[in-house]
Amino acid sequence: MLDLRHDLPAFPTLDNSDLDVLQPLPSDAYLLGPGTPFEGLQYDQVASSAESAWHCAQVLDYVLDGRNALHPEIYRFAFYLFGPVKLVHSAGMKCIKSSSARPDKRPANLDDMVANRHIRVPLPHDPNHPKIVQLHDCEVMMVEMPDDNDAIAQAYVASDADPPGLAILDSGCTRTMHGKQWAEKFEAALASFGLSPKSRVKNQLFAGV
C-alpha cells in the first residue's frame, strides 16, 4: 500500500558487472520465469491483475528491503513494477501539495481530457486488509488544459533563452534526457551556488522512441 506521508525507498542499483540483467529493459511483453506463481504470464498481465497483487507486493517488498540476495528474474520484475509505483506515488504527492497550496484550484475534469495516459493498478483501500484490492485507472499525464468551456491543446517547447534548469517532463521516457547546451547552462547555474554535479558511467538501453 502506498503511504503518501513518506518517500518511496530507493531502488537497489546493480554493480557494473551485473548490468546485463536489465539489457534489454524489461517490458510489458516479458514473461515471468519458472518458479514463480504466475509462470508464463506477461509482466503487464500480472502487474494489472487483482488476483496477482499480493505477488507484486511481495516481490517489491523483498527487493526494496535491501538486505536480500536478489535473483535476476526477481530483480527484473521488481524493476518493472517500481516504475508505475513511483509514478503513482509522485502523482499522489503532487495532488496533495497542489490542493494544500491552492485550495481554490479547480480539479481536472476527466471529460476535458481528449487524450490521456493512464496505468491500471490494483489498490487496497483498507490498511488492515492489504490483500483486498480493486483495479483503478490512474491518470499520469494530462495533455489538454481546460480553458473556460473549451479544451485547448497546449504545446510546450524549450529554447536557448529559457533560464537554467527549466525542463519539460516526459512521462513516456524511461530515463531523464537533456542536451549538451542545457547541461552546460545548468552546471554553470549550480556553480553560482557553490555546487557541482556528479556523474556516473552506466550502460543504458532505451525502449521505445
Beta bridge partners of 118: 139
Whole-number pLDDT of residue 150: 53
Whole-number pLDDT of residue 55: 92
- Closest of 109, 100, 60 to residue 83, by C-alpha: 60
Q: What is the pLDDT along the chain (209 residues), one digit of tens a residue?
A: 566 677 888 898 888 888 888 888 888 999 998 888 999 999 999 998 888 989 999 999 999 888 888 889 999 999 999 988 888 778 777 766 655 555 444 445 444 434 445 566 667 767 677 677 777 666 544 444 455 555 554 445 566 677 777 776 666 666 667 778 888 888 888 898 899 888 888 776 665 54
- CA 43 to centroid of chain Cα atoms: 16
Whole-number pLDDT of residue 138: 60
Which alpha helices (DSSP H) does 18-103 contain, by range?
Answer: 43-47, 53-64, 72-101
49 burial level (CB within 10 Å; 0-12, 13-18, 19+) = middle
Whole-number pLDDT of residue 110: 43
Consecutive H or E run containing 189: helix 180-191
Each domain of the chain, given as residue ranges in start order, spans: 16-152, 156-209
**Could you tell me how many helices (H) and strands (E) the chain has, helices first?**
4, 4
- Closest of 13, 133, 128 to residue 63, by C-alpha: 13
Strand segments (E) across 50-200: 116-124, 133-142, 144-147, 150-153
C-alpha cell at 148: 473556460
Contact 122, 133 (CB under 8 A): yes
Contact 38, 31 (CB under 8 A): no
- Closest of 138, 207, 139 to residue 173, by C-alpha: 207
Whole-number pLDDT of residue 16: 85
Query: Rounded distance, CA 81 to CA 86, Å?
Result: 9
